[in-house]
Amino acid sequence: MQSVLRKMILGMAAVSFAASMSSVLAQSKDPAGMGTWKLNVEKSKFSPGPAPKSLIAKFEPAGKGVKLTTEGVGADGKPTATEYTANYDGKDNPLKGSPVADTVSLRRIDALTTERTDKKAGKVVQTLKRVIAKDGKTFTVTVKGVSPKGDPVNNMLVFEKQ
């Protein structure tokens, strides 16, 4: 009887371990763009402009979601930086450094596509749809919403893996 109970406990422990490891492995191989990416300003479109001089985005696994940090130089030559950590659960999380929004929520559409919703004081101000190329070398972000001044925004940003 003890032998059967011991085998059941060991079996459940092995299944639990395998499940947790597959979650860790799936996250570390997340095709949704983990790593460092550089904006290709020439391939991107900004309406309204002008385009930033540069932008680097770094995506890192964080729990069941992602941590994003960005650094760049705006069109005016001033440094920019943003940061958030969020799960793909549609819940609002703090967004630091953005002149447009104070929270962000994420939703995974499929293995290569995510949607981000930015809000200011609880009101949606922008939506960003990110699509990773099948080869994993680029991704495109479509940004729709309003600028900090309230002007319509319809941008298409192309990032390249570094």
Q: Where are the domains of the chain?
A: 1-30, 31-161
Q: State the sign of the Cα–Cα–Cα–Cα dihedral 125, 58, 86, 142.
A: positive
Please give the Cα distance from 127 to 124 (Å, whole number): 8
What mean pLDDT is predicted for residues 50-55? 97
Q: State which H helix or E strand residue 161 sits in.
A: strand 152-161
CATH code that applies to domain 31-161: 2.40.128.20
Q: Residues in the chain, how many?
A: 162
What mean pLDDT is predicted for residues 9-31? 38
Is pLDDT at 113 greater than 50 in this prediction?
Answer: yes
- For residue 87, the model assigns a pLDDT of 97
Predicted confidence band at 3 (pLDDT cuts at 50, 70, 90)?
A: very low
